[in-house]
Structure 1
């Protein structure tokens, strides 16, 4: 009788333990496929859940458009000889007499070094007065000075040299070989040549972006487009600021993947299948290949196109579903593009949860049996 009572008590204990395990939430990497679908708009949720097909892939194939506006593209190349405020000139004046206006005794030439063009664009030359230099070439300034002095000394000869271009410089910062301020000179009048002057690109070229700030204007291009599209190799202007930086787009991978992490874009575009591969693929012991989800806040114009509607306003919460077991599932995942800020989530297979439950029950039963044995002793 005592033996039967003991067995009955053990059975009751096991049933109670099983019930408690079933009632407890087992560890998991995120929501189940059923729970995600329960949050759809069709079920009074706040997200549109859409199965990915060829039409959806085309509608969502959006990549950030980078380029320069007309104000940059239509700007002509600055003449390297054009003088600007802040430039420094060197003047040599020859006089055809022994006792000239400017030359010291016994000399027939005068050297005027480091004559700086003032903020209004003028320079001062003794006996020639205040002369407009900005906007003129050294040759034009030479003629002006010669004409001014010709009435005061016979047959003057003038040389004008541009010594430095402090008034026509650009700053280059970011991922280049040598950051700094560089003058616009004959070899460095365009964007690509100035980048070369700054030591070239010091970050991966496939994800390098070039931003040019000119006054209130701003333009950005991919570095590789400078060579694929010659119109983007714009002419520079004094005061331009050039910033070289790496593409900062990223997405997050969660759930039953090899690793769960924030992943930076390493190419201009990345597909869903590439994104999964970069985090180690699907976890073979956990993943449900029918439940690969991409969470995204979609602009209204794209959301309307995907859902064949026209009434949506503002960003919409969208959940795109990829089923890798479908005949075309791998193709759809290969063509569907991941965008900046996306969350890629892979659900666990129902078997994984069942396996966890069995494991928990087996461990619990083993623990209960040990306790029972100890108690019986």
Structure 2
């Protein structure tokens, strides 16, 4: 009776284990390949399933387009000696008299006016000459203007004007630049590239740096690498320009049977699906299904219509791009397909992994049940 009772207890334990595994979901990293494909529009889901081909890679190879408008690019170089509000000037007047000079004391033929600042309206004040428009002129033009104002009051005045350090023709540099601060526009630093060089360059990886320039109400931005590869982007600067160096903030999310599951920042201006997989440590050799690599994306209307060969789609469309790395050209397709900001890279588990988990759960549960039964029999 004891033997029969023991066998019955084990059978009951086995049935209980199978029932428990059947009724409870096994742990896994996400939906299976079959479950994802079941969400297609063709099966009343809300996502289009698209196998990646060379044509699909070409149609979706769209990256952020940066650049400067014509207003930035058509602006000429600021004259190296053009004066602006805030500039400090050193002005010297030589008078051709000894006894009663206009500006100096008796016997003083040379009068130096140091640290004369051009005011916010662009004017300076010179004794006996009054307010003179200085902003927008060169030092030579201002010299002639001062001479004209004084020549009727003192014989043959000789005037010199020199621009010294001041707050006038300057730009600000901030963000991820190596040297943040306010820099004067001088003869060697009248363009964006030379001004960045003057500030020490950037403090981040140049391949991830974006340069934004704000001028009044207008803003433009470019990749730093493009600045040095495309001379047309090396725009002329204007007083008051704000230059900000930013780090690329684009990222994608990696989930499923990959080497790491996280939000992953881009490491270059462009990133292929193959590079994205490598960035997160590759596919998990113990669990990944190389036929089930998916890129989930909200595709804009124009690209969605092009990819699906339609013209009736309106608004953003959910598209799941499928990569099968086991096909003869699978790795090439993954190399050519571009990942974009906000994408989700998802790798499904191989079917064998779920079988393994099921068997492991059953054997583990029945083993526990057998131990309980044996303990009960021992007690009898």
TM-score normalised by L of structure 1 = 0.98
- Partner Cα separation in structure 2 for residue 238 and residue 51 of structure 1: 52
- Partner Cα separation in structure 2 for residue 76 and residue 83 of structure 1: 16
Instruction: Find the counterpart in structure 2 of residue 307 from structure 1.
Output: 308
Asked if 1 retains the 8 angstrom alpha-carbon contact of 2:86 and 2:118, the reply is yes
Instruction: Find the counterpart in structure 2 of residue 89 from structure 1.
Output: 89
- Partner Cα separation in structure 2 for residue 120 and residue 278 of structure 1: 56
Instruction: Find the counterpart in structure 1 of residue 270 from structure 2.
Output: 269
- Partner Cα separation in structure 2 for residue 347 and residue 41 of structure 1: 20
- Partner Cα separation in structure 2 for residue 296 and residue 105 of structure 1: 84
Asked if 2 retains the 8 angstrom alpha-carbon contact of 1:165 and 1:184, the reply is no
RMSD in angstroms over aligned alpha carbons?
1.1
- Partner Cα separation in structure 2 for residue 74 and residue 376 of structure 1: 94
- Partner Cα separation in structure 2 for residue 40 and residue 29 of structure 1: 20
SS of 1:224's partner is helix
Q: Does 1:58 align with 2:58?
A: yes
Runs of 4+ in 1 over 3 A off after TM superposition: none
Per-residue deviation, 1:124: 1.5
Deviations 1:13-51 (A, max 9, x none): 212211211221000000001111111111111111111
- Partner Cα separation in structure 2 for residue 315 and residue 175 of structure 1: 34
Number of aligned residue pairs: 377
Per-residue deviation, 1:307: 0.3
Instruction: Find the counterpart in structure 2 of residue 136 from structure 1.
Output: 137
Deviations 1:199-232 (A, max 9, x none): 2111001111100011111101011111110111
Deviations 1:215-267 (A, max 9, x none): 11110101111111011111111111100011111111110011111111111
Instruction: Find the counterpart in structure 1 of residue 26 from structure 2.
Output: 26
Instruction: Find the counterpart in structure 1 of residue 243 from structure 2.
Output: 242
Kindly report which structure 2 residues correspond to 1:163-312, keeping only aligned pairs within 5 A, or say none.
163-312=164-313
Deviations 1:98-130 (A, max 9, x none): 021112122111011111212221212112222
Instruction: Find the counterpart in structure 2 of residue 80 from structure 1.
Output: 80
- Partner Cα separation in structure 2 for residue 132 and residue 278 of structure 1: 60
Asked if 1 retains the 8 angstrom alpha-carbon contact of 2:13 and 2:370, the reply is no
- Partner Cα separation in structure 1 for residue 268 and residue 146 of structure 2: 57
- Partner Cα separation in structure 2 for residue 118 and residue 269 of structure 1: 48
Asked if 1 retains the 8 angstrom alpha-carbon contact of 2:6 and 2:373, the reply is no
- Partner Cα separation in structure 2 for residue 234 and residue 95 of structure 1: 44
Per-residue deviation, 1:10: 2.0
Asked if 2 retains the 8 angstrom alpha-carbon contact of 1:169 and 1:240, the reply is yes
Instruction: Find the counterpart in structure 2 of residue 6 from structure 1.
Output: 6
Asked if 1 retains the 8 angstrom alpha-carbon contact of 2:291 and 2:324, the reply is yes
Instruction: Find the counterpart in structure 2 of residue 335 from structure 1.
Output: 336
Per-residue deviation, 1:5: 4.2
Per-residue deviation, 1:163: 1.6
Gaps of 5+ in 1: none
Kindly report which structure 2 residues correspond to 1:141-152, keeping only aligned pairs within 5 A, or say none.
141-152=142-153
Instruction: Find the counterpart in structure 2 of residue 69 from structure 1.
Output: 69
Gaps of 5+ in 2: none
- Partner Cα separation in structure 2 for residue 10 and residue 155 of structure 1: 122
- Partner Cα separation in structure 2 for residue 173 and residue 71 of structure 1: 23
